[in-house]
Structure 1
């Protein structure tokens, strides 16, 4: 079995016959905002001033073995097809790595072929600039047991029937805040921490309501059904 990547809906091996000779899934660095105190060795760290630690983008690097073509024109057409596949997206696009099942990256090839693409001895090296975190393909609260990971996953309910008042927990198993999509059958209120959020009937997506990593204790007031759709993000 040959591993590869799926990017912009096409697979490196299945669609282009490219095999991977080397890969490097780079890790993101923290963005630190620090200020020195005059006449002191101490520093203040403002990196979490907006509620969480920020991270730089990460680099995903792959070196592919390029399949041999007997005739030069065929090789250059083949080369052009590969470059068109990699360079066409003008924004971060879903990238799935066969060796990291259950997660995907959001990535884009930014640097042009002159610098990053090198056809030397039948090989091609490409660097993707990616969103700092890999994102789970399955929403939290899914009941697919075959894919459950005891180290990374958390078994929980994210769909609730409410009659009056319901106190429950939502667990964000990722490393950053998530902003769930909330689907409610009627208007409800959610108490999280010291804030109360009014949730209208229908689907709500807002940056006002977020779940921090770990346990989030919530109180739901109203009558009807409500569900929370969110996906964990890991480094």
Structure 2
């Protein structure tokens, strides 16, 4: 039998560990969170969905169909229990799909449906994951691994700076969603963006109000020491 190449890794195990052959995968685009005001006697509607400057999405369902073949009835019963325990026990974890090299989904298994095909001694397994709407890069932005650099999706940039006094830097978020970066500073730093000032202590910290918007982010940094911005692009 040909070696199993396609599959997923979840909860510390690859699907090939169970001899699962992936037959189909489905990851439709997530549903948008819409805020619409339908005013009587007005053509169309007022759509406030992008009031933050970006589209906001609900979680998405990522689905797979696997086959487990050449197993007798008793083996299929035990195998079904093993699969459900593997997939349904943990909560939210990364879901690594061989189709999405250098990216992962983030979610939890929502359902495992198993069909016992006695005619062909196989199990047909349908698995649904409830996932964060975007796939997340494995490597942080600004990494210098040229073997995996994508000229269409990545940006070559510095994300670590030595600050003496005040310096203006330009960070690019090449993803499709705004991101809260981890700020790693050797000393307390003040960062100003778009007229708003944020304070960051020494060490690693995050501020949910400090987000890197899509595209260019001009930052005015004041302090003495090094500061590094750690963030991972997210794609639809």
Q: Which TM bucket (shorter chain)? A: over 0.9
Match for 1:42 among 41, 44, 56? 44
The answer for the alignment partner of 2:20 in structure 1 is 18
| Residues 212-227 of structure 1 aligned to structure 2 (within 5 Å) | 212-227=213-228
The answer for the alignment partner of 1:97 in structure 2 is 97
The answer for the alignment partner of 1:195 in structure 2 is 196
**Equivalent residue of 1:109, what SS?**
strand
Contact 2:166-2:220 at 8 Å conserved across structures: yes
**d(CA) in 1 for partners of 2:132 and 2:115?**
24
| Residues 1-235 of structure 1 aligned to structure 2 (within 5 Å) | 1=3, 2-13=5-16, 15-70=17-72, 72-89=73-90, 91-111=91-111, 113=112, 116-120=113-117, 121=120, 122=122, 123-235=124-236
**d(CA) in 1 for partners of 2:225 and 2:148?**
31
Contact 1:68-1:75 at 8 Å conserved across structures: no
| CA-CA distance at 1:102 after TM superposition | 0.4
Contact 2:80-2:114 at 8 Å conserved across structures: no
**d(CA) in 2 for partners of 1:56 and 1:203?**
29
**d(CA) in 2 for partners of 1:134 and 1:34?**
27
**Per-residue displacement from partner, 1:172-219 (whole Å, max 9, x unpaired)?**
111111000101111111111111112211211110211001010111
| CA-CA distance at 1:44 after TM superposition | 1.3
Task: Give the unaligned 5+ runs of structure 2.
Answer: none
* Two-structure CA RMSD over aligned residues (Å): 1.5
**Per-residue displacement from partner, 1:81-139 (whole Å, max 9, x unpaired)?**
112111112x222100011100000122224x4xx332335221112121110000101
Contact 1:30-1:54 at 8 Å conserved across structures: yes
**d(CA) in 1 for partners of 2:220 and 2:125?**
54
- Give the TM-score taking structure 2 as reference length: 0.92
Contact 2:60-2:133 at 8 Å conserved across structures: yes
| CA-CA distance at 1:54 after TM superposition | 1.1
Task: Give the unaligned 5+ runs of structure 1.
Answer: none
Contact 2:137-2:232 at 8 Å conserved across structures: yes
Distance 1:119 1:51, change over 3 A: farther
- Give the TM-score taking structure 1 as reference length: 0.92
Contact 1:166-1:220 at 8 Å conserved across structures: yes
**d(CA) in 1 for partners of 2:108 and 2:116?**
20
Contact 1:165-1:219 at 8 Å conserved across structures: yes
